[in-house]
Amino acid sequence: MATLYLVEQNTILRKSGDRVVFCKRPPSKRMSPGLRQMDVLMEWPCADVEQVMLFGNIQITTQAMHKLLEHGVETALFSLNGNLYGQLTPPGGKNIFLRQQQYQKALDPDFCLDFSRRIVEDKLNSAFKLLQTHEYNHPGIFPREALKNLEQMIENCRTATALEALRGYEGAGTAQYFKLLGGLLPDEFKFQQRTRRPPKDPANAVLSFGYTIVASELQALLDGIGFDPYLGYYHQVQYGRASLALDLVELFRHRFIDRLMLNLFNLKILNQTDFNEVGKGGIYLSIAGKKKFFMQYERMVGQYQGEVPDPKRKIGFRKAFQEQVGLLAKTIKAGVPFIIYEEF
């Protein structure tokens, strides 16, 4: 099953039989509405599509939306810079009992604190391990005190007695981490701190874009299994924010997207021409940059499709997304402590 990331501008996604067709009208035929007058860029059987993500100025016909929904395919609409506008989702949410239990857990401060401690501790621990790996390969690359400070924040998370204190430890640890992470990049892409809304440099642009894509995938999975994606436990309720999806994103930020970002720059897959400067000093991936990003994203996120798992092949992150959502459902329904997916 494929996830379609469509970024080519001034295009249209249409239906043809039981397939969706991604096409573009040649400049000389802009007034011709028929499919025959269009250049077909790609086409896919709907049965082979799992999710569709549209970025920027891409039209989708009503007939194509009908066909995708008929096949249970979710369609997400983003701005060109990666801001999620919304999602067209097949009928779901029938598991009202799971939602009732989810709402009840949100009223339990002990559960919220325990869940949040596990999330934040794992997040900072994955950040520490990423840095530790580079330290092992390049001894002395980081000040020893900096790594000790990050370790201390992880220890503080384990014993935090309130969400406010936990957020303070997370903020301090994350700031320390990003200051060190920026030093692992080539000189022209180094950064000192995390910036967003807008991102101020290419590396932060990749991080923001990647985190948004992961959040969208997790939101779709949560909604599909019956959760309310907008009711979180660590990220508290805020109008229009998928807080539960953001809770789970914390588990994938550093072990997935940050590693992907380092690969994109250190392997020279991305360069300065793959970014555009937008108003207010914002830096965003260009169309060409997004295409490169998604090629590498799919390499890391893709899961083993065979019937017999290969122990030598690493589990893709999309499989991990699914398993982690399942573990959360088990926690809510069975009342067991929240478990981080063991393959991590």
Task: Indicate whether 60 pLDDT > 80.
Answer: yes
Q: What is residue 33's predicted lDDT score, i.e. its pLDDT?
A: 53
Residue, of 30 and 317, whose pLDDT is higher: 317
Answer whether residue 93 shows pLDDT above 90.
no
Contacts of 104 (CB under 8 A, 6+ apart): none
pLDDT band per the 50, 70, 90 thresholds, residue 290 = very high
Of 275, 316, 320, nearest to 293 by C-alpha is 275
Predicted TM-score (pTM) of the model is: 0.84
Name which of 79-88, 148-157, 164-173, 242-251 the model is least confident about: 79-88
Residue range 96-303+310-334, CATH number:
1.20.120.920
The predicted model gives 309-316 an average pLDDT of 55
Higher pLDDT pick, 18 / 304: 18
Q: Count Cβ atoms below 10 Å from residue 17 Cβ, excluding itself.
A: 10
For residue 21, the model assigns a pLDDT of 92
pLDDT reading at 153 higher than 60: yes
Digit-coded pLDDT (tens) for 194-204: 998 899 999 99
CATH code at 2-88: 3.100.10.20
The enclosing H or E element of 72 equals none
Per the model's pLDDT, the better-predicted residue between 51 and 54 turns out to be 54
H or E stretch at 50: strand 49-55
pLDDT confidence band for 305 (50 / 70 / 90): very low
> 303 pLDDT exceeds 60?
no
Q: Which residue has the higher pLDDT, 338 or 262?
A: 262
Taken in order 150, 314, 290, 70, is the CA torsion positive or negative? negative
Q: DSSP code of 87?
A: E
Mean pLDDT for 111-124 is 94
* Domain range annotation of the chain: 2-88, 96-303+310-334
pLDDT bucket at 246, cuts 50 / 70 / 90 = very high
Q: Sorting pLDDT into bands at 50, 70 and 90, what band is 5?
A: confident
The residue ranking higher by pLDDT, 253 or 51, is: 253
Which of the listed ranges 73-77, 84-88, 159-163 does the model predict with the highest average pLDDT?
Answer: 159-163
Confidence bin at 94 (pLDDT 50/70/90):
low
Confidence band, pLDDT 50/70/90 cuts, at residue 209: very high
Burial class (CB in 10 A: 0-12, 13-18, 19+), 305: exposed
Please determine, for residue 210, whether its predicted confidence score (pLDDT) is greater than 50: yes
**What is the rounded distance in angstroms from the CA atom of residue 73 to the CA atom of residue 263?**
31
Could you tell me what percent of the chain has a pLDDT over 90?
52
3-state secondary structure of 319: helix
